[in-house]
């Protein structure tokens, strides 16, 4: 075979491999503070080849100290993931709203949850919204938490990426603001007391927010 043909065959093989979808593309939940809410948005695929099938279980959506599931639904549980023992510091919460595929993890049992009958490489997507919460009330700390399993072609991962909150834009002072105690200038030579300053202080504060935690214990009831 000529060198030109060998190069052509190699290029064709590389292009063919690149066109084949990989089953180990990983799944990532990105977490952000949006206004007065915390939003989880997940997407990706999973390769179950390096895990052991545990069984089909009933799953309640929620977020715990060592538990996350996007949607209440029967799920297939697989064991064998390794990584952080937890990714948050406080108790359990039920999302105000959730949608998409039932997907999640339970590091305390080295478990991964996927839709019943899930086939490796099938695209997954899910979202959860926790209204009237922030990272502090949910016990979340910005950072990247990754669980892995398998090796070689069966290697894959599940990641929770908690992004750092963005500081709010500072509110500029009005151009016409009058300093406390400083009245308008009095023309030189005019008698009498200067006009009284207008003391107008406007207090700006965060609105009061009441966070309600709903514990997930056993068969918890979802709160819509």
Q: Where are the domains of the chain?
A: 27-162
Q: How confident is the model at residue 167 (pLDDT cuts 50, 70, 90)?
A: low
User: Beta strands of 3-115 (E only): which ranges?
Assistant: 27-34, 37-44, 52-59, 62-64, 67-69, 73-79, 97-100, 104-106, 111-115
pTM of the model: 0.66
- Distance of alpha carbon 22 from alpha carbon 151, whole angstroms: 14
Write down the pLDDT at residue 66.
87
Best mean pLDDT range from 18-22, 166-170, 191-195 = 166-170
């Amino acid at each position: 075979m000529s060198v030109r043909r060998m190069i052509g065959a190699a290029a064709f093989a590389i292009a063919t491999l690149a066109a084949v979808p990989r089953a180990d593309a990983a799944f990532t939940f990105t977490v952000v503070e949006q206004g007065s809410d915390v939003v989880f948005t997940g997407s990706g695929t999973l390769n179950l080849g390096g895990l052991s099938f545990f069984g089909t279980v009933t799953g309640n959506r929620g977020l715990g100290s060592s538990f996350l599931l996007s949607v209440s639904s029967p799920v297939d549980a697989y064991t064998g993931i390794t990584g952080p023992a937890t990714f948050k510091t406080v108790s359990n919460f039920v999302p105000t709203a959730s949608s998409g595929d039932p997907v999640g993890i339970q590091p305390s049992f080295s478990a991964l949850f996927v839709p019943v009958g899930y086939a490796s490489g099938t695209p997954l997507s899910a979202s959860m919204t926790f209204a009237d919460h922030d990272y502090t009330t949910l016990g979340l700390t910005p950072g990247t938490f990754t669980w892995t399993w398998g090796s070689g072609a069966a290697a894959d991962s599940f990641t929770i990426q908690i992004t750092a909150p963005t500081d709010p834009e500072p509110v500029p002072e009005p151009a016409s603001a009058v300093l406390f105690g400083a009245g308008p200038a009095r023309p030189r030579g005019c008698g009498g007391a200067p006009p009284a300053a207008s003391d107008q202080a406007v207090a700006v504060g965060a609105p009061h927010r009441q966070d309600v935690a709903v514990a997930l214990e056993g068969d918890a009831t979802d709160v819509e």
